[in-house]
Amino acid sequence: MKKLFTICFLITILFTAKGQDLIRFTEEDKIGFKNKEGEIVIPAFYSISQFEKGFIAEEINGKEGTVDINGKILIPFIYDDLLPFHEGLAEVKLNGKFGFIDAAGKVVVPIKYSLTTSFVEGNAAVLLNHKVRIVDVTGKEIKVLKYDTIRTLLYGRKLIEVGLNKKWGRIDYQGNEKTKPIYDLIWPKAPSNVLSFAKLNSKMGIIDNNGNIILPFVYDYIYRWEINEEKKDKNRYYKVEAGGKFGVIDSEGKEILPTIYDRINHLNPNDIEVQLDGKIGYLNAQTNKIIFVKVDEEFKTSWMEGANNIYNRLQ
């Protein structure tokens, strides 16, 4: 009865949305529909996302499948997880294992793998028996690699993060090694989609998508700068720390300020403010020099709290 109610409710949503040309919106990970005037027609009740030939829906019992806009079940509601289709295939999880199905529900890549990535340019990486393998869209394993785990890298990168003996590197979707697996950690989306922060022997630096070192591994910590919403699409800053001193770099790895300052307040989204020898100043954008100013004790106390805060420190 619960399943019947779920399918009927889903069909009602599909017909209503299609007939009235509604706009989808999300609220607390649930999806509903509004009309062109912004009025809610269907409250955010269900986790439904449109893709290719149907809709994906979470069943009341936690299982997922798909129906088309006529309410016909395309893929039975048997999967623990069913991700949106990409290059004609969708990743599914069943009884703790992963594989891929096509839009008709046919299993193309066997549901036997411990981990999988999405397909990119016809290939995906999968993990079986602690070995990374490259498979094509027919499910054929075309390469077996030396690595023992995988992690998909999104954010505009056509790369896969691979692990070997608890160290991390990167390969492309053909299985070619781009970054040797020597890093303790690689951040997937910072500072940009062509550069990444990485940690090597407890020090942090920056590498590019080909594994080249862009910023030397000399920093103890790196902190994300608070974003000014008006400037969020522009080159952003990062506070760097080495030996108890602080400096500033940008998202291209360029040094903005050397690592000589006692404190830098990375929680101010509008300005670069520093402290050196007890004096507080700011970076003048026109002269590219620090201008020191007199501040009262109340301001200094508040400023120090922000500068000493470890919020936004990359972990």
The H or E element that residue 124 is part of is strand 123-128
Per-residue confidence at 267, pLDDT binned at 50, 70, 90?
confident
Q: Dump pLDDT digits (tens) for 56-71.
A: 555 646 788 876 655 5
Q: Dump pLDDT digits (tens) for 216-229.
A: 999 999 998 887 65
Order of strands across the sheet with 123-128? 115-116, 123-128, 131-136, 141-144
Helix (H, G, I), strand (E, B) or coil at 286: coil
Number of H helices, E strands in the chain: 2, 31
Residue 198 contacts residue 183 (beta carbons within 8 Å): yes
The H or E element that residue 149 is part of is strand 149-153
The H or E element that residue 8 is part of is helix 2-20
Residue 254 has pLDDT above 50, yes or no: yes
Angle ∠(61,66,69) on CA atoms, nearest 5: 125
Q: Which amino acid is present at 285?
A: A
Residue 47, pLDDT score? 52
DSSP code of residue 84 = P
Q: Express as a percent the part of the chain with pLDDT over 90.
A: 50
Residue 76 contacts residue 39 (beta carbons within 8 Å): no
The H or E element that residue 114 is part of is none
Residue 194, pLDDT score? 87
Residue 228, pLDDT score? 62
Q: Which amino acid is present at 120?
A: V
For 227-274, give the DSSP string: PPGGGTTSPPEEEEEETTEEEEEETTS-EEEEEEESEE-TT-SS--EE
Contacts of 208 (CB under 8 A, 6+ apart): 194, 195, 196, 214
Average pLDDT over residues 282-295: 90
Q: Dump pLDDT digits (tens) for 89-139.
A: 999 999 999 999 998 899 999 999 999 998 999 999 999 999 999 999 999
What is the total residue count of the chain? 315
Helix (H, G, I), strand (E, B) or coil at 71: coil
Residue 63, pLDDT score? 85
Residue 141, pLDDT score? 96
Q: Dump pLDDT digits (tens) for 72-86.
A: 678 888 999 988 888
